[in-house]
Structure 1
Amino acid sequence: MIISIEKSEREQRLSRVRSLIKDKGYKALLFAADSYLGKKGSLRYLFDNHLIHRYGYGLVLEEGQYQILPSGLHWCTDRRVPDTIYPKDHEVLEIVRIFNKQNIAEGVVGVIGLNNTMKIEDYDYLKQELPHIQWVDASVAFEEVRSIKSKTEIEGVKEANTIIEAGFDSIIEHIRPGMTEEEAVSVAYSTVHALGARDTLFLTLSSEEPGAVEPIFLNPRPKVIKENDYLIVSLEITGPSGHWVEHSRMFCFGTRDEEMERLARLVARGIEYAEKTMKPGVKVTDIQEELEKMAAEAGTVCGHLTGHGIGMDVIERPFVARQTGTSFIGVEVPGEEDEGLLYLKEGMVISFHPQIMNPDMKKSAYMSDVFVITVDGAQRLSSRNHEVILIKGR
């Protein structure tokens, strides 16, 4: 079980971050992290801290690095984490003190999470106290760095995938008509956590109508599963190493619906296409375009985000989606800054999950798998097939 990273792995990651500082001409990189799922992976990447509460900062200079956490987290964080400061006043005050001590009063500082994570009052204070520094969002530049996973990281991804499939297996063994969605997936929580999962995000898609699934992701509900219902279950977890994986399949609880099965076959076809196509050098927007073409030819609609990078945050770049001209960092489509992340590279890990819907949005299908991009192509981590899983009542 990979619980903490070795010193050599951490030094390798810091070296890549410092190369980014040098390449961009930054004086430093400041990482803003929050315990919200999807906004804390940078601290795990840099400092091996799986942030479970509140927020924190990471600061990397040409020489020296610091993790700066609220004083209260002294009692609620991993004591293995090196280079950590718990200022008695406020984290942003400590950042200013470090900059003054290092005689950094001008130039450009890249901030990961500036536009979608950092607190406004902290940003305003930094501008006030260090007025000659230009603070720029460096989130996409950092995404380029962490999009390529090391051998150790890929081992962590594979370990997490083994855990999530065990959780899904427990659902298949347990789930029956007459249960609520909450009851049906509850066994997966205990299974994955017993095996070392850290964070979990479980979602379901269903409908009030039998033989249908509306394309809306929700937390498992107290809705009773009935005969002839369809249900999509999506599990997302972090393994012991802090890496996210996703696994989703479809269930039928009685008579198979011809249209639902057709939609499921289209999703399976899309995943099969990705498995054959995703190789180093392939453009991610081309994959999305092909999936949309497949869907249109079948008289259906393809979801906007067919896949994405996945790692220490549940959604990372690159995005398998149509490119737009937006400059907003938090939009889950390739934007103006994503040019360097439009092509697959060896070492990327991709969560691929086509969503195919009827035009009236009454019926839909969705499944997901995790792929590692190797020099020879895409390695799918699951051996589970993509047939709708038939569950009969006891």
Structure 2
Amino acid sequence: MSASLRERDRRWERLHAAMAEEGFDVLVVAGSDYRGHKGTLRYVADYNLAHRYGYCVVFAGEEPVMVLPQNLSGGRRPRSAWVSDYRYPHELGDGLVEVLKSRPRNGRIGIVGLGEIMKVREYLRLAAELPRAKLVDASAMFERVRAVKSAEELAGAEESAYITDRCFERLLEIARPGITERAVAAEMYATAALLGGEDPLFLTMYADDEPSGPCPTFGAPRDRILRAHDVFTFSYEVVGPAGYWVELSRMVTFAPPSGAVQRVSDAVAAGMAAAAASIGPGVATSDVQKNVIRAVEEQGVESSYWSGHGLGLDVLEEPWVGLDVVQNDSSAGAVPVLGAGMVLALHPMLWEAETSAMGYMADTHIVTEQGCRTLSEFPVQLYRLAAGGRK
């Protein structure tokens, strides 16, 4: 699904204004088909990268230029109506240099994705061919630009949340003792695909046996057979037709839960409720994290994990919720304060070592002028199923 030209103009206006404020003559926006790195190109050029990687070059006040691998030039390529100039050089570094040298002003070049996305060889090529240019990491600036979503973007997130809710509905229909994680995942993948979902990221979480004892872990669904007393904790993230990520996570069991499992799940729910209650424009992300920790500890459980992050066309965006509280060597990031229109995934993760009970649940929220709005229709709780039905 393509975004509107009105949305294009809004994004470009914000991007060009930020470039002028920070003194950039041009931006080189890097993207790759990795889940957390392809949203940059979709944001700037409405280009949904099918595979590999590529760049979008943005000169101040001009339409961007796409620079993509040569093998993407033919066949069913996902070109957008936003950009008319597509380049497919044999070497991407050569293509970038050619585009950048085509304008007289390229002295200060901002690179979006310099630290995590841009290929080293392309960076070295620019440094060698443009020795007088100053190459600057513009990733933080870009995160500030895209953190607040438009009404059109929020509608895309709502559509994605509808898909994850239907996937959870399917889980509640089929989950039972004797089924494997992989079988549950297959049904949820199928449900998402039929509704237009893409790039599903499905993780299951459990206490795994290690030589040093049980420890919390997570990974892709495997052939683990669910038993009556197991807690099936899943995290499901998916992109809807408009390209926006959402996350939904719940805890599911079958037999009556142990006291430890119930305590940990209650603590997760309390932490999420405290976070949702504290969200609003002007609120520091560190304060949201502190409220999560306070609510969890009141339930007799401890949390040492950061509690959330922004969502958008990438699965991990600013703002970070609590990274500066949990990790003393980390800053609050480029967006330390919440604003209306931001989309957040909140997901406290708890672990009680003495009982090997772990807890994790997640919801997607939209920050509003009044506080926040949760996108899932399913309450935050431990779900106990009896023979494939909710209880």
Q: TM-score, normalised by structure 2?
A: 0.92
1:35-114 to structure 2, matched below 5 A, reads 35-62=33-60, 63-74=62-73, 75=75, 77-81=77-81, 82-105=83-106, 107-114=107-114
Which SS does the other structure have where 2:307 is aligned?
A: strand
The CA deviation string for residues 320-355 of structure 1, in whole angstroms up to 9 with x for no partner, is: 114279999xxxx535xx3x5111101101111111
**Counterpart in the other structure of 1:323:** 324
Distance 1:347 1:13 in 2: 14
1:178 Cα offset (Å): 0.6
One-letter amino acid of the counterpart of residue 167, structure 1? C
Distance 1:360 1:83, change over 3 A: farther
* Aligned residue pairs, count: 381
Aligned to 2:361: 367
Q: Match for residue 338 of structure 2? A: 344
Partner of 1:334: 331
Query: Which residue is equivalent to 1:388?
Result: 382
Q: Give the Cα–Cα distance (whole angstroms) in 2 for the partners of residues 325 and 21 of structure 1.
A: 32
Q: Following the alignment from structure 2 to structure 1, what is the Cα–Cα distance between the partners of residues 134 and 336?
A: 28
Deviation at 1:68, TM superposition (A): 1.1
Q: Structure 2 CA distance, aligned partners of 1:49 and 1:322? A: 30
The offset of 1:221, in angstroms, is 0.8
In structure 2, do the counterparts of structure 1 residues 325 and 249 end up closer, same or farther at CA, with 3 Å as the change threshold?
closer
User: 1:300 Cα shift?
Assistant: 2.4
Unaligned 5+ runs, structure 1: none
User: Displacement of 1:158 after TM fit?
Assistant: 0.3
CA distance in 2, matches of 1:58, 1:368: 33
1:297 is displaced (CA, Å) by 4.2
Map 1:76-225 → 2, pairs under 5 A: 77-81=77-81, 82-105=83-106, 107-207=107-207, 215-225=216-226
Contact 1:170 1:187 survives alignment (8 Å): yes
C-alpha spacing 1:219/1:238, structure 2 compared with 1 (3 Å): same
Contact 2:274/2:291 (CA < 8 Å) preserved in 1?
no
Per mean C-alpha deviation after superposition, the further-off stretch among 61-70 and 27-36 is: 61-70
The answer to whether the 8 A contact 1:207-1:214 is kept is yes
Q: Name the amino acid aligned to 1:372.
A: I
8 Å contact 2:267–2:301 — kept in the other structure?
A: no
* Cα distance in 2 for residues equivalent to 1:347 and 1:378: 9
- 1:207, distance to aligned residue in structure 2 (A): 3.7
Deviation at 1:14, TM superposition (A): 1.1
Structure 1 contact 214–361 (Cα < 8 Å) conserved: no
Decide whether aligned partners of structure 1 residues 324 and 368 sit closer, same or farther in structure 2, where only a CA change above 3 A counts.
Answer: closer
Deviation of 1:291 (Å) = 1.9
Secondary structure of the residue that 2:224 maps to in structure 1? coil
Aligned sequence identity (%): 32
Asked whether 1:22 is paired with 2:20, we answer: yes
Q: Which residue of 2 aligns with 1:292?
A: 293
For residues 97 and 88 of structure 1, the distance between their equivalents in structure 2, rounded to whole angstroms, comes to 10
- TM normalised by structure 1 equals 0.92
For the aligned residue pairs, the C-alpha RMSD in angstroms reads 2.1
Structure 1 residues 368 and 206, CA gap change in structure 2 (3 angstroms): same
Shift in Å at residue 233 of structure 1?
1.3
Q: 1:246 to 1:54 in 2, by over 3 A?
A: same
Q: Secondary structure at the match of 1:217?
A: strand
